Amino acid sequence: MAGNFGGFHAAFGGEMRSNYPNCPVPQHFLNIRYNKDMANPFRSEKFRKIFIGNIALALAVIGLGVGTFLAWQYNDKLPRVITPAVPYLSLQEMESTLEGEQKTLKQQIAKTDDQINALEDQVRIRQSGMKGLIDDADRLKAQAGITQAKGPGIKIILADSNAPLNITNAIAHASDLRDLINQLWQNGAEAISISGAGSMEERIGPLTSIDCIVNTVLINGTKTVPPFEIKVLGNRDKMISAINDRSALKSIYDRVDKEGLKFTIDNNVREVDIASFTGNIITEHVKIK
Amino acid sequence: MLILRRVAWLLLFLIVGIMLTNQYIIYTKIGSIKSAQDPQMMAVRVSQLYFDNAKLKAQLVERVNHETSLENSATNNLETQRILEKEREKYKIILGQTEVAGPGVTLSINHTLVTTQIIDLVNALRNSGAEAMSINEKRILTNTPMNQFNEQPNFVIKAIGDKDVLYDSLTRPGGILDLITNGQAERQDEIVLPKATL
């Protein structure tokens, strides 16, 4: 048993024993004699000399600590140019800031629209002559997708295949969403929205574009990633039939068959609640002729 | 002498500490870079976000102004009527219920296009800020399916918006015209689009 601690004892003045009978300990190790500190090596003179008495070691620890602290402070704010990673990191920060700003702007627009609706309700009562105009504007808003929509419909899931993501055909593309939406409009869809993983529901509106940048899809300017949930308001049978049309959605079905792209209808959903359009509807150049 | 030696030790480990921490922080951050193309792509995304947010800010200002005008016109029927009619006009434009005009680009393509090409072209125009569009004199709305233009022998596509932005984004190398080929874009000070037909 003592042999198990042979190295430790030797370091602090104890006698060294080999753990292995075939490997004798060298004679100069055996000359190390047992002394009074062997019972508690932490109290030995040698220990104190090495670990406590050595101020240089304490300074080294302080130095490392202060150095770490200074480096962390220095890296806390990005310097202008130190590594090739800096422009990327600045962009990353900028993207994050702009995404936050976008979310806030959309929320403020939605809140202001709610306040406008409340004001219009008051106008209906106070200025009864305006009722027809307000009703007309409300009808147009609903047609344009500026209000929520609810009714029978379907929910479609479009997601990346389980295959390695470096296979381009195994991932869900912006063009898949564009083709799908076109197919749904073609078959009489009344309203469509798309949500990506963890992102806001984006209604397809008057000025919606769906674009792909690297591995993300921008819908109404908002970054989304698969899996995509596409909610469609409309006749269920017609919508299901449209989705099952393999020739109209050839690009998607080819990749479903070959690469395992996921494209399914959620059969549990029979009614959908579609959010209002929160994207941009500013028309500064176009005027009524 | 002893003090000097200790100070030297302190400085040495201070420098080692700084270097180690710096390396750790930089490598942690670099770890998130997947390819050399990423910064460029992220720049495109940032630029797109910047562009979209500018439009959203303008929209918020417009909505707040509308709200304020509506509040201030509480006792003035004529003013309320003017504000509500302006609001109604905006939605009529969006819904294609009226003939519209404005600056923009006209795009001429003298060959057939398949549905997916037309879908991508319309998407690219919307992404570049087109506020109203027509294809072969048919107004394009949110829910216009593109299948109806399949196999037409030629196309005249009109888009109202910032004519320079529209023109540049269409004609830039790698832009949508590059992908479709043989198209010609022309800036115009005024384009007239018909109202939508069923």
Chain A residues within 8 A of B48 when measuring between CB atoms: 211, 213, 218, 221
Query: pLDDT digit of tens for each residue in chain A (289 aa)?
Result: 333 433 333 333 333 444 444 444 444 444 444 455 455 666 667 666 665 556 767 777 888 888 888 877 776 655 444 555 667 777 888 888 888 898 899 889 989 988 998 888 888 888 888 888 889 988 999 999 989 999 999 999 999 998 776 678 889 999 999 999 999 999 999 999 999 988 889 999 988 999 988 778 999 888 899 999 999 999 999 999 999 999 999 999 999 999 999 999 999 999 999 999 988 787 889 999 8
First to last CA, chain B: 96
The two most distant CA atoms of chain A are separated, in Å, by 113
Chain A residues within 8 A of B89 when measuring between CB atoms: 288
Contacts of B24 (CB under 8 A, 6+ apart): none
pLDDT at B151: 81
> Which residue has 């109203």 as its token pair?
B132
- What stretches of B115-164 adopt beta strand conformation (E)? 132-135, 138-140, 155-160
The predicted model gives B58-86 an average pLDDT of: 87
Contacts of A82 (CB under 8 A, 6+ apart): none
Instruction: Report the C-alpha gap between A250 and A179 in whole angstroms.
Output: 10
Q: Which two tokens stand for residue B182?
A: 């043989």
Identity at A148, one-letter amino acid code: Q
Reduced DSSP (H G I as helix, E B as strand, rest coil) percent helix, strand, coil of chain B, to 5: 55, 15, 25
Contact criterion met (CB < 8 Å) for A283 and B131:
yes
> From the list B18, B60, B115, which residue is nearest A67 (CB)?
B18
Mean pLDDT score across all residues of chain B: 87
Percent of chain A with pLDDT over 90: 39
pLDDT at A24: 46
Per-residue pLDDT band at B27 (split at 50, 70, 90): low
Contact criterion met (CB < 8 Å) for A95 and B45:
yes
Closest residue of B to A283, CA-based? B131
Measured in angstroms, the CA of B182 and the nearest CA of chain A are apart by: 22
CATH of domain B100-193: 3.30.70.1880
Measured in angstroms, the CA of B105 and the nearest CA of chain A are apart by: 12
pLDDT at A51: 57
Closest residue of A to B148, CA-based? A186
Percent of chain B with pLDDT over 70: 92
Chain B residues within 8 A of A149 when measuring between CB atoms: none
CA torsion B68-B74-B75-B78 (nearest 10°) is 80
pLDDT at A33: 47
Chain A residues within 8 A of B100 when measuring between CB atoms: 286-289
Instruction: Report the C-alpha gap between B120 and A288 in whole angstroms.
Output: 27
Contacts of A59 (CB under 8 A, 6+ apart): B6, B7, B9, B10, B13
pLDDT at A124: 84
pLDDT at B167: 95
Q: Contact at 8 Å (CB) between A148 and A275?
A: yes
Mutate to test the interface with A, among B63, B113, B125, B164 (most CBs of A within 10 A): B63
> From the list A88, A204, A206, which residue is nearest B42 (CB)?
A88
pTM (2 d.p.): 0.71
Chain A residues within 8 A of B40 when measuring between CB atoms: none
pLDDT at A88: 74
Measured in angstroms, the CA of A59 and the nearest CA of chain B are apart by: 5
Structure confidence by residue, pLDDT tens digits, B34-57: 444 567 777 888 888 888 888 889
> So where are chain A's domains?
2-76, 96-138, 148-274
The predicted model gives B25-34 an average pLDDT of: 56
> From the list B29, B41, B46, which residue is nearest A94 (CB)?
B46
Contact criterion met (CB < 8 Å) for A64 and B13:
yes
Measured in angstroms, the CA of B56 and the nearest CA of chain A are apart by: 6
Q: Contact at 8 Å (CB) between A55 and B8?
A: no
Closest residue of A to B102, CA-based? A286
Domain A148-274 listed as CATH 3.30.70.1880 = yes
Q: Is B158 helix (H, G, I), strand (E, B) or coil?
A: strand
Percent of chain B with pLDDT over 90: 44
DSSP annotation of B178 reads H
Q: Which two tokens stand for residue A26?
A: 């060298």
Instruction: Report the C-alpha gap between B46 and B59 in whole angstroms.
Output: 20
Distance of alpha carbon A5 from the chain centroid: 52
Mutate to test the interface with B, among A86, A124, A250, A280 (most CBs of B within 10 A): A280
Chain A residues within 8 A of B145 when measuring between CB atoms: 182-183, 185-186
Q: Contact at 8 Å (CB) between A203 and A278?
A: yes
Chain A residues within 8 A of B189 when measuring between CB atoms: none
Chain A residues within 8 A of B54 when measuring between CB atoms: none
Instruction: Report the C-alpha gap between B42 and A214 in whole angstroms.
Output: 8
pLDDT at B163: 95
> Which residue has 């102004």 as its token pair?
B65
Q: Which residue has the higher pLDDT, B168 or B7?
A: B168
**What is the DSSP track for B58-93?**
HHHHHHHHHHHHHHHTTT-HHHHHHHHHHHHHHHHH
Instruction: Report the C-alpha gap between B134 and B160 in whole angstroms.
Output: 9
Contact criterion met (CB < 8 Å) for A140 and B14:
no
pLDDT at A8: 37
CA-nearest of A105, A109, A191 to A148 is A191
Contact criterion met (CB < 8 Å) for B126 and A213:
no
> From the list B104, B120, B192, which residue is nearest A289 (CB)?
B192
Q: What is the CA radius of gyration of chain B?
A: 28
CA-nearest of A61, A50, A59, A69 to B4 is A59
**What is the DSSP track for A64-104?**
HHHHHHHHHHHHHS--SSSSTHHHHHHHHHHHHHHHHHHHH
> So where are chain B's domains?
41-94, 100-193
Closest residue of B to A69, CA-based? B18
Angle between helices B2-30 and A55-76 (to 10 degrees): 40
